[in-house]
Amino acid sequence: MFRSPVTAAYDGNTHSETIRIRRQLSSRPQGRASASSFQQGPAVSRWADTAERIWLGATATSPTWRSHPRHCGGRALIAAVIELSRQHERELEKRRNRLTPVSARVRVRVLALALASALAASCGDPSSRDRAPAAELPDTPPPNGGYFGLSPVGRYASLPGDAAAAAEVHKSSWEVRPQNASYNRTVPAGLRLQRVNPASGAYDPRWNKYILSRITGDFTGTTDEIFQWVAAKWGMPDNLIRTIAFVESTWYQSNYGDFVYDRAQCPAGFTKLPCPVTFGIVGTKSTSWPGIFPWNRDSTAAAVDVLGAWLRGCYEGWVWWLRNENRSHGVYRAGDIWGCVGAWYSGNWHDGSPSTPDTGENYIAQAQYWLNVKPWLRPGF
């Protein structure tokens, strides 16, 4: 979330911190929206200094102000005060003989305070979806055992919705993939996946209602918070989501692959062959989920939401077409989460062997290995 240069440099929240901040005003470190950066005259500088002192005093004691978006930032306040000062200086020039320096300073402070109050009132209280500043959150990775377990078969109707799942996320500023920032902030606009025809017999009739209609990608946060949100929403172990993301992309949403030579399968905007059809941090295939592109490419939450949906629907036993696939390791059934992990990759049921590349069993073996290792908890990940 955006924080103004002032609050980013001085995120104090105690009286002693406020005093320290004000003592540093004269040093004007780089990156601050100081009066000198506006190249104004002495009078304007006094206005800006007054505005900065007011701003720092307010943000040091008010988390509401600190957590607001850019229109409530310190730079906007200072710039507004300076603009107001230009008009007021002309008035002071006309009335110089009637307005003493002391009363002028008082008047400046009163006007600056009035402007600050107006800005605060226009901001209002931050919405429930506003994230707290990163400095106020713990910078801690998830625990070794994760936060969530596997919800049993049959719990599909009681799984939490988007908002309830978001409330279960353990907030942290821990982010090992800052490259995902823009993807993590992107929420699909009116995402609606193409429904399946129940008459086809490919899926259980509940697939449309409890799987496809629940895929929204309606969450923003750090990469790991998105994993948690999906795990909570679909009743999946969060460590399993982390593991699949590692196997697919080592946690980079910019990942893409599965090139095809059929132009009819190419996503919109791709004119050269071959073209990729799989995108995102967990390898979400556009051709398998009609309507998901471009959000599987542009939104981390949307891409991972689809993975959670697949794992839940498959685990419930609703992917009927898997019954006709490989049966060397048994017929597709509900309750086999690892079979569903392998099918996410191969589109088959326990096909191949752990030593055979590009098969479901090989993918399962990789995932089980990395789930045990948990590379995301290792230094330098």
What are the pLDDT digits (tens) for 291-335? 999 999 999 999 999 999 999 999 999 999 999 887 778 899 999
Residues 90 and 43: their CA atoms lie apart, in Å, by: 11
Domain ranges of the chain: 5-134, 139-377
* Residue 135: per-residue pLDDT: 56
Closest residue by Cα to residue 284 from 381, 217, 196, 332: 217
Residues 280 and 284: their CA atoms lie apart, in Å, by: 6
* Residue 215: per-residue pLDDT: 98
Q: What percent of the chain has pLDDT over 70?
A: 65
Segments of the chain with pLDDT less than 70: 1-135
* Residue 184: per-residue pLDDT: 98
**How many angstroms from the chain centroid is the CA of residue 51?**
33
Q: Is the pTM of this model over 0.75?
A: no
Burial class for 300, CB neighbours closer than 10 Å (0-12, 13-18, 19+): buried
Please, what is the average pLDDT of the chain?
78
Closest residue by Cα to residue 301 from 207, 195, 188, 174: 188
* Residue 328: per-residue pLDDT: 74
H-state helical runs in the chain: 5-9, 15-23, 42-61, 63-66, 74-94, 101-123, 162-167, 181-184, 207-210, 223-234, 238-249, 295-298, 300-315, 337-346, 360-373
